[in-house]
A = this chain, B = another copy of it.
């Protein structure tokens, strides 16, 4: 018996799947109960990729993989939420073939609709590789923690951002320099905005939130901030205060609804997420019976992504048929998402002010007016008449009040630039 695979897209990830299936053929056959073999491929060019395509059917149009009679399962490695990736997903389902993808944008944006179509046809859509690469985060959440009401998901979901933040801290350099180096090393794209502006992490968070809460997530409801505005000054204050700055994706149930947000956060150094450095990814789930479950591993790259894609293929070969979102698509609820203005938490605020008497009194009066109490305040050195940073750490408070207070603080004559705000996440 053989499960026959058609792969669309032979870039790093698609090529990695072809190589993994060849290298581990014997082991996979033993574990899957049948061999898993690539029979057809589609890519933009027939250039040499370092592995043989001999014996494989070539399709110029990826959508043709769906109707190739020698393909049982379609693997989509093209990317993008629209266009050929989506066309191929729909064609595969229409042709009664299961569909495996690493495409976070596609699943985050069209996952609920695709699930409904797939499930009514008894098909699988599998996407372990879409979130956190080599970490089986989807499987842990959807199956391992299936007995739990999950109250919170928090993760470092973008390796590029984590690499940049880690390097900024380790080398004391600023964002622009480190980004340029990361681009040179291939850790960041020429157009880095999907990564550094938080979109990629938000796609992954939307998927995790859909699974955790059994909810249809509208991607437009996510609050998304990237890391461009993180300064080396904030990073050094973070270290002094016992925090590490991480770009987190957080999905949590609150009394008022679900909070879905991607933003830089101050993470206490005692917490597992604070210690995840470089290109590593990590996710923490809070289950009501399991307690916290923390996962850490490689979030991207040829090997880890191929590991996840082939795990999905082995599941399909083993006959595993779990609903795309862990429950029938028709039973997913409409989620009530709270706006970021309703966020409750502690805040790190940094002001650049003219060092002169009375500044702190003005700031303190405004914070008092908004009911915001301070845990600590830092100002290093004295430079009368010059610009100095002041750092304020608040107790738990409400974001709407913080925003209103910061508007007033920014308008003070002694405050020289827009205040920096970084949420503190325990």
Interface positions of A (Cβ within 8 A of B): 16, 20, 24, 27-28, 30-33, 128, 134-136, 139-140, 143-149, 214, 272, 275, 287-298, 301, 303-304, 306-308, 310-311, 313-315, 318-323, 326-328, 331
Contact = CB atoms under 8 A, between A and B. Distances in A.
A145 B323 CA distance: 20
B297 A290 contact: yes
Contacts of A308: 144, 290
| Copies of the polypeptide in the assembly | 2
Given A140-B136, A144-B128, A147-B314, A295 B298 contact: no
B294 A295 contact: yes
A321 to B, nearest CB: 6
Instruction: Name the prevailing secondary structure of the A interface residues.
Output: mixed
A293 B146 contact: no
Contacts of A136: 139-140, 143-145, 293
Contacts of A134: 287, 289-291, 293
Contacts of A27: 149, 214
B135 A293 contact: yes
A20 B311 contact: no
Contact of A311 (B145, B297, B311, B313): B145
Nearest to A282: B294
A291 B287 contact: no
A269 to B, nearest CB: 10
Contacts of A143: 136, 139, 143, 311, 314-315, 320
Contacts of A290: 134, 297-298, 303-304, 307-308
B144 A311 contact: yes
